[in-house]
Amino acid sequence: MIGLLLAQAAAAISPVEGVISYPPAFFAAQAPANAKEMLARVPGFTVDGGDAVRGFEGAAGNVLVDGRRPTTKSEALDGLLERIPSAKVERIDIVRGGAAGIDMQGKSVIANVVLRKDAAVRGKVEAEGFQVPDGRRFGALKVEASGGGDRSWEAASLTGRGFVGLYGDGVGQTGTSSGPGRRTRIETEADGPLRQFTGAYDLPLAGGRLRVNGLAYNDRLKFEEDTVDVGSGATESYDEIEAHRTRELGVTFTRPLSAASKLELIGLRQVNGYGLLGVSITPDGRESVDVDRTTRETIVRAVLKQAWSPALSAELGAEAADNRLNGATALEADGVAVALPGSDVRVRERRAEAFAKASWRVSPTWSLDGQVRYERSTVRAAGDVPLSKTLSYAKPRLLVTWSARPATQVRLRLEREVDQLDFDSFVAQGSLNNATGVTAGNADLEPERAWVAEVAMEQRFWGRGALVLSATHAEIQGVVDRGPVFTPTAVFDRPANIGAGTRDTLKAELTLPLDRLGVPGGLVKGFVTRRWSGVDDPTTQTRRSISGQRPVEWELKVTRDLPARYLTLGAELYGGYQSAFYRFNAIDRFKRDPFLMIYVEWRPRPDLNVRAELENITKRGYRQTSTTFLGLRDPDQAGAAQLFDRNFNFGRILYLRVRKTFGG
């Protein structure tokens, strides 16, 4: 049976002019419940949720639904794909290098989830639960439904209580470069409630279609940490409450203007609230930090799409966005307010962007996908740091694809990338339970700009296998890193532009079916990424990596489908990583160890799925190490460095999920 399904699927996924179509038969062995689980099995493809940036054009992920981007920025792409039942999916098209009528969203590879046009009502009820090592239990309930024909609707809710499985219990160590200091025992807990509600309605209007979608999300995380000095028994505590609130409304109207042209109009309104209250109590006194931040974004967008032939299409469009931030941060020590640069900031940005895109399949083996975007933004800041400036940038992009053979493709990309200013960098922020402490805001940042060149080679094999190798080089202007700011009473760390830099990346992605190796239904999927970067340090005037870079990241997933037993067995290993942040007087290092989980999925009936997981088998460790110097950072200073080291371990986690679907 498996062999027959594979033969049918292989016949349907032969690449045709850069597009590979995967029908439901390709996924039949593991009986996926939704589009997310289907995409996880597509060879050589990994879901990219996009970037958390302002505006709509630059925030795209690499998945379309019926050829369109979801009109949301608040909901993760994974969550949206989970709400598309597999029975609703007609096929998944993987577009490699560009195709007429498909907006590649600035990506080299795009997945287009094509939906069935029927009126069936479908949905699911899903209950999940966790048990963590200290005996606490957490759970969530998801309810989703969709239906309708010409007038379709979707609704979903999520309620539950979550936790952070990163810190756990641990040990701490302080000291100086001349010897160790005190040792501590640390106990932590982090959990809290969360709720999310989403809905959408799609209907015909004025010769086109109108889609309205909305989202409401709230969470409240309470973090508690108690520290005991091993020698003296002295205690310290840190309590923090962190809350997020999101409201979003999106509207999309599409209308064909002719057989070859189409108009698309988009409106989006998003409001995000963030609050943090942290209190630290030590034998030396009491400190508190209070952060209150609200951001608002309003976007309008219009795109005209034209397809002259199956090989040639183009788009013209523009969008405007109004972004606002109100942020306030208060720092107190023993009840006395501490002056903090960038503690009271109000920012407004007005952005406009125009773009032209074209996709041309020159021949069966060559294709071109290009675009030119021009953006102009005016940023005004009030409060602690009054500021007004106008920024404008052109952002060209060209992707050349050569399909040497049906199973072999080479892609070349040249692009000018311009990062957005992070509004969070304008406002002072931080925490009181680590050596980094509170950092100042900086409203006078310039966005990073980079010329990026990339080459990728994709080789498909064995019907379900793929190997993708890519190399990327970036020449960066205005690297955003860390720098000092001086006040009459203190010096604070803050975000800063520190000059030109480079970034290089090598990545290998593998999808390896194991049928030919004697393991029917087996699949290995994984990737490894290696990064290098360089920038001149503003403090030491020496070359170093850019702050926050993770030199190596990798993951490996192994599954085996046993359809005769209605089972899927799996193991997932996520590699650890290391990163460093360079402040004017310190180096902060973070290290996370590998994470291993195993699971079994049982499908006793087509509409019932039970999944059990044993997570964090490796009892992953998480380490924070800060080396702080008495003056400016200088690794050659003898006896002038202080060490702050904390090492946490979180134990094994049990997870159980029961999913009941209805409507097919």
* Cα distance between residue 485 and residue 438, in whole Å: 13
pLDDT tens column, 235-292: 989 999 999 999 999 999 999 999 899 999 999 999 999 999 999 998 888 988 898 9
From residue 599, give the alpha-carbon distance in Å to each of 166, 310, 560, 568, 640.
Answer: 20, 44, 11, 8, 50
C-beta neighbour count of 388 within 10 angstroms: 10
Task: Tell me what pLDDT residue 464 has.
Answer: 87
Can you tell me whether residue 390 is helix, strand or coil? strand
**Residue 64 CB-density burial (10 A; 0-12 exposed, 13-18 middle, 19+ buried):** buried
pLDDT the model gives residue 437: 54
Q: d(Cα 86, Cα 91) in Å, to the nearest integer?
A: 9
Report the distance separating Cα 263 and Cα 389, nearest Å. 34
Pairing mode, if any, of strands 543-544 and 522-536? Answer: antiparallel
Lowest-pLDDT choice from 207-211, 256-260, 325-329, 372-376: 325-329
Closest CA to 206 of 263, 281, 259, 163: 263
Amino acid found at 296? R
Enter the DSSP assignment of 545. P
Residue 370 has pLDDT above 70, yes or no: yes
pLDDT value of position 640:
64
* In the predicted structure, residue 8 carries a pLDDT above the cut 60: no
Mean pLDDT of the chain: 85
| Share of residues in the chain with pLDDT > 70 (%) | 86
User: Quick one: pLDDT at residue 105?
Assistant: 67
- For residues 205-230, one letter each, b for 16 or more C-beta atoms within 10 angstroms of the residue's C-beta and e for the rest, the string is eeebbbbbbbbbbebbbebebbbbbe
Q: What pLDDT is attached to residue 54? A: 55
Half-sphere exposure of 300 (CA within 13 A, CB side): 3
Residue 474: pLDDT band with limits 50, 70, 90? very high
Q: How far apart are CA 307 and CA 216, in angstroms?
A: 37
Q: DSSP letter string over 401-450?
A: EEEEETTEEEEEEEEEEEPPP-GGGGS-EE-SSSTT-EE---TT----EE
pLDDT at 371 over 80: yes
C-alpha dihedral (63, 69, 71, 72), degrees to nearest 10: 30
For residue 438, give the nearest of 240, 595, 572 by alpha carbon: 240
Which residue pairs, CB below 8 angstroms and at least 24 apart, start in 625-628?
Answer: 625/588, 625/589, 625/590, 625/591, 626/434, 626/435, 626/436, 626/586, 626/587, 626/588, 626/589, 627/586, 627/587, 627/589, 628/435, 628/585, 628/586
Dihedral sign (CA 440, 446, 447, 448) = negative
34-57: average pLDDT: 75
Q: Out of 194-198, 510-514, 621-625, pick the least confident.
A: 621-625
Distance CA 532, CA 511 (A): 25
Does pLDDT of 12 surpass 50? no
Which residue, 69, 75, 109, is CA-closest to 317? 69
Residue 383: pLDDT over 70: yes
Distances in Å between the alpha carbon of 391 and those of 250, 321, 394, 445, 446? 27, 14, 11, 11, 9
Question: pLDDT tens digits, residue range 542-567?
Answer: 899 999 999 999 999 999 999 889 99
Predicted local confidence at residue 27, as pLDDT = 84
115-138 residue pLDDT tens: 888 888 888 999 999 999 888 899
Residue whose structure tokens are 């309590």: 239
Q: For residue 506, is pLDDT > 60? A: yes
pLDDT confidence of residue 438: 55
99-115 average pLDDT score: 75
- pLDDT of res. 13: 42
Proportion of the chain above pLDDT 90, given as a percent: 44
Between residues 221 and 70, which one has the greater pLDDT? 221
- Kindly report the pTM of this predicted structure: 0.83
> From CA 120, how far away is CA 114, in angstroms rounded?
16
pLDDT band at 99 (very low <50, low <70, confident <90, very high): low
Which residues are CB-neighbours of 407 under 8 A, at least 6 positions away?
15, 459, 460, 461
**Alpha-carbon Rg of the chain, whole angstroms?**
26
The least confident of 28-42, 120-134, 569-583 is 28-42
